[in-house]
Amino acid sequence: MKKPANTSYPWKFASVGGTVRVKIQSGEDIRHLGELDRKLWTVLSCPTNGLEFDETTLKLIDVDKDGKIRVDEVIKTAQWLTRIVKNADDLLKENDSLALDGFNADDPDGARLQASARQILKNLQLDKDSISLEDTADNVKIFAQTQFNGDGIITPASASDEATAKLIEVIAGIASALDRSGVPGITAEHVEAFYTACADFQAWMAAGTKEVFPFGDKTAEALAAVNVIKEKVADYFMRCKLIGFDAASAEAVDVSIAKLAAIEGNLAAATEEIALQPLAKPSADGKLVLKAVNPAWKGAVEAVVELVGIKKAAIDEADWLEILAAFAPYVAWEEAKKGAAVEALGLECVNTILKEDKKAALLELLEKDKAEEANALSIEEVDKVLRLNKHFYRFLNNYVVLSDFYDPAFKAMFQAGRLYIDQRSTDLCVKVAGPSPEISSLSGMYILYCACTSEKLGKSFNIAAVLTDGDVDGLREGKNAVFYDRDGNDYTAKVIAIVDNPISVRQAFWSPYKKVARMINDRIDKKAAEKNEKSMSGLTDATNNAADGKEAAIASNFDIAKFAGIFAAIGMAVGFIGQFLVKLAEGIASVKAWELLVIIVALMLLISGPAMFIAWRKIRKRDLGPVLNANGWAINAAALVRAKFGKTLTSLAKFPKLTAVDPEARRKANIRKFWCWFFVVLVVACVALWLLDVLAPLGCKSPLF
């Protein structure tokens, strides 16, 4: 990659989030972004979707439309924008409007956009010296009163006379495109296709001579009537041929008396079943008596007789084939039809349109409209200037510097909303494709991957919610929570994966004791479950044996020696605990209070110290970068989330101090507190005894023992 030609620009730097970053604090800084070493950019690439930012602005910056915004695209946007506006410092104000004299008229593009801004205000019939995003938001409104708007589409309003306007309306009724003004219009392709269709339809109609219509104006109707009975007539003559071939087949091909007899109820309502029978009673002579046909087909046969003009009382197959042959020219003419798109207009209207021949006039109007393309695009480009004028500086704070993430007055564009779970809320929620623990674990953060759904909005997505304060004892996969997006819409959130890392040093201090407590609790639960299972098994066996008359065998299972051993073991354990407590009391009596306090604190630090040290180191290195990388970002610098800053991202529930408390609740709370501290002191005392056993052989004396 080529180095910037000028690298002497005096950049200013500051510590942001524990990392040195460049400061964007003036329009000149934005103008010279191309000279900033790419190694100093916080972000090298970010996606355009899934961000809490103006989507249109992101797409404007994404020049190549690949869904990623890279450094070169940001630089190009910065250079173009600072060239268009007169005072680049105004970009830091993030206004949604720009004064007309705020365009840089000394630049050709700036002067062009300034003129376009004036044209927009003129089209909207607004008399003011500034233009806003509200003014450029509605293209339809801007171009509603314009004759030509450069989109290659003309509407009836584009015509200079009523006849041409009516013709445009007729063509648009057949095929149209939506004009910038929001009205259906026509393109050059529509004009060409329309006149081609008119010419084809005229030529096709001219080919429809008298010979094509054997039955005059009723030819089409007659053909339709013939087609209704065509297959049934062919079926009848085949039945007649079979009887002529073998008289024995007469019964098989004749009307089925059995099927007619099987019809129950009103025969007039069984027309469909009767219609399945032959058209008429077949005979060896092959004659179809037109008045002796199946009642279900009588109306269709009479329609053919009338429209075709059959004079005979009965016809044979040759007569029928002659009737079909008479329609051949008409069928061939119909199959050669062209210009069907304009058939609904009628031949007279088509002839008039071709005679007036306004095709050249329509194409000339389209050329005039196309000539305004540059001006129309320039009008739309004014909206681009206004969007960047409002949003580009904020984008840079999220891309070059990442300062919005660390500023309590703002939220970064990757912060999707707020998750409420387990009496806390976290604002560090990032939309992600799905769980990616192998990458996110590198961040050193405690992350809840949650699936969020809203039936009301019909939306669903996944988030990575980072917890930076509080305990995690109640968190687990499958736990339900509620997520609110930046617009205040609520979603049902369900934890689908957890990346476990330390949250705070305080949590790490208690973690060894909690682990021991959990281990003891698990062991107790396991033993209790085993005992319960064994007891239930014994009870079941006893019940079965009693049913079989074997009560004596059950009684013999009692072993007095075994129970004597158990009671002896319990006595020894009680004696050991008593000796330990006596020894502990004697030691405490011989030591000063402050020495005892120092020893207890030292022992607690000895137990909790390693976990606290590990947690402290991890928390100092907590980095949001890997989480964003897993979501398609290319993070070029650390985005640290240390303890103090982390407390601003996760908010814990705060309860007022109650003046009146239920005595029973207070008693239970005091009991819980007592046993908690008793457990801690017991653990510390056990460690003290262990140290005594270790140090005694070395000749070391403890002030406690």
Q: How many helices (H) and strands (E) does the chain have?
A: 27, 19
Query: Six-digit token pair at 650?
Result: 């996760």
The three-state secondary structure class of 484 is strand
From the list 335, 313, 302, 309, the residue with the least C-alpha distance to 323 is 309
Q: Are 62 and 71 in contact (CB under 8 A)?
A: no
Q: Mean pLDDT, consecutive 10-residue segments, the chain of 705 residues?
A: 60 89 94 94 93 95 94 97 96 95 95 92 91 89 81 90 93 92 91 95 91 91 94 94 89 84 81 89 91 93 93 93 93 92 93 94 92 82 95 96 91 95 94 75 86 94 91 88 95 92 64 60 66 70 61 48 54 56 54 51 60 61 85 88 86 74 69 70 62 53 45
User: What is residue 103's DSSP assignment?
Assistant: B
Residue 390: strand, helix, or coil: helix
Give the tokens for residue 460: 């669903």
Q: What angle is formed at CA 693 by the lines to CA 691 and CA 697, rounded to 5 degrees? A: 115
The gap between the terminal CA atoms of the chain, to the nearest Å, is 73
Bridge-based pairing state of the strands 13-16 and 480-485: unpaired
Burial of 527 from C-beta contacts in 10 A (0-12 / 13-18 / 19+): exposed
Instruction: Render 583-648 in DSSP notation, one character per residue.
Output: HHHHHHHTS-HHHHHHHHHHHHHHHHHHHHHHHHHHHHT-BSHHHHHTTT-EE-S--B--HHHHHH
Q: What is residue 140's predicted lDDT score, i.e. its pLDDT?
A: 80
Beta strands in 73-214 (DSSP E): 97-99, 130-132, 177-178, 184-185
The b/e string for 588-615 (b: 16+ C-beta within 10 A; e otherwise) is eeebeeeeeeebeeebbeebbeebbeeb
Residues in Cβ contact with 46 at an 8 Å cutoff, skipping those fewer than 6 apart: 68, 69, 399, 632, 633, 634
**For residue 660, is it left (φ>0), alpha (ψ between -120 and 50) or beta?**
beta
Lookup result for tokens 């179809």: 288
Q: How far is CA 86 from the centre of its chain?
A: 40
CA separation (Å) from 470 to 105, 177, 420, 428, 543?
57, 60, 13, 15, 52
Q: Give the separation between CA 58 and CA 51, rounded to whole angstroms.
A: 9
For residues 430 and 628, the answer to whether their CB atoms sit within 8 Å is yes
| 291 in Cβ contact with 305 (< 8 Å) | no
Provide the 3-class DSSP secondary structure of residue 6: coil
Q: Can you point out the beta strands (E) in 12-76?
A: 13-16, 19-22, 43-47, 68-70
pLDDT of residue 150: 84
pLDDT of residue 585: 55
Q: Is the pTM of this model over 0.75?
A: no
Contact 135, 126 (CB under 8 A): yes
Alpha-carbon span 685 to 705, nearest angstrom? 12
| Residue 426 dihedral angles phi and psi, to the nearest 5° | -130, 135
Tokens of 155: 């509407």
Q: Give CA–CA dist 10/35, Å, rounded.
A: 10
In Å, what is the CA distance from 110 to each residue of 107, 117, 120?
5, 10, 15
The DSSP code for 427 is: S
125: left (phi over 0), alpha (psi -120 to 50) or beta: left
Distance between CA 165 and CA 186 in Å, rounded? 11
Tokens of 98: 């720009």
Q: Which of the 8 DSSP states describes residue 3? A: P
- Which strand ranges, in their side-by-side order, compose the sheet holding 480-485? 429-432, 459-467, 446-454, 490-499, 480-485, 417-420, 424-426, 650-652
The residues pairing with 19 across neighbouring beta strands, listed in sequence order, are 16
User: Which pLDDT does position 1 carry in this prediction?
Assistant: 42
What residues does 234 pair with on adjacent strands? Answer: none
CA 186, 192, 194: angle at the middle one, nearest 5? 75
Looking up tokens 């103006």, which residue turns up? Answer: 54
Pairing of strands 43-47, 634-635: antiparallel
For 629, counting Cβ atoms within 10 Å of its Cβ (0-12 exposed, 13-18 middle, 19+ buried), the class is middle
